[in-house]
Structure 1
Amino acid sequence: MMAKQKVPMPLPKRPEPPNLEEMLEDIGKAKDDDVVFTMFTAGSSSPSTPSPTKTVGIMSESYEEISPKQSPVDMATSGDDVTTDIDAIYQKAKTYIETNRYLQNANANLSKQYEELQNMGQHLTKSIEQLRQETSKIKH
């Protein structure tokens, strides 16, 4: 007997993601007590809900200070606190990358200098041995 093979069924087409205007409209229609705006409030002490000091991004304390219903797009374009936070994070990341590159180069340079010192040490040891042999010939 032959086994029946399952014919794969095509999946339905996914809906298109909302555009910016639709997202802004949804944010504007949301109530002040909507879970999106209340989930990360300072009074939240539920163990399953992260505290605002541990969150990052648009749901951090700086987001709540600006406005609970301000869109992320508005925050990114108008918030001085957010801009300085982003600039500070960017500077930290840039410094980290530069320091990492410096340390990689320093490691390569130290390896090269170590090899040179090893070669010089071997050469010095050979020279000392030659001097000892020559001085022992002179004494005899």
Structure 2
Amino acid sequence: MGSKNKKRGVLPSRPDQPTVEQMIDDVNKAYPNDPIFSVLKDSKQGISPDNDMESMYLQSRRYLELNEQLHEAKGKLVRQREDLQTAGKQLELNVVQVKGRAL
């Protein structure tokens, strides 16, 4: 019964997204043998400059699409969190009312 009365700790807020400068700095500080660089190098083998530009364009478009989806998902999660907080408050009120009736 004691564990039911414990208050749950508040989770820390999500950190802010890194800036472009921070991301570039991270890439510049990466080791040459970092696995991501070998993946990128393997994916570019056999690509002509024209195809490389097209590939970069398609990657950029895909990035923008995914970024938009992430922003939409973030908004949805914020709304869902607010709904859950409202439901939690209502549940707490209901519990207090039920306990009051039981006494």
- What is the distance in 1 between the residues matched to 2:62 and 2:81? 28
TM-score by length of 2: 0.53
Specify the code of the residue in structure 1 equivalent to 2:89: Q
1:103 aligned residue: 70
- What is the distance in 1 between the residues matched to 2:54 and 2:91? 54
Question: Which structure is higher in RCO with an 8 Å CA cutoff and minimum separation 6?
Answer: 1
SS at the partner of 2:48?
helix
* CA RMSD in angstroms, aligned pairs only: 1.2
Are 2:59 and 1:92 aligned?
yes
1:127 aligned residue: 94
Q: Which has the higher helix share?
A: 2
Are 2:54 and 1:83 aligned?
no
TM-score by length of 1: 0.39
- What is the distance in 2 between the residues matched to 1:83 and 1:105? 33
Matches within 5 A, 1:4-19: none
1:116 aligned residue: 83
Q: Which has the larger radius of gyration?
A: 1
- What is the distance in 2 between the residues matched to 1:83 and 1:134? 76
Specify the code of the residue in structure 2 equivalent to 1:126: L
CA shift, 1:91, in A, is 1.2
**Structure 1 stretches of 4+ moved >6 Å:** none
Q: How many residue pairs align between the two structures?
A: 57
| Percent of pairs with identical residues | 26
- What is the distance in 2 between the residues matched to 1:128 and 1:83? 66
CA shift, 1:82, in A, is 2.0
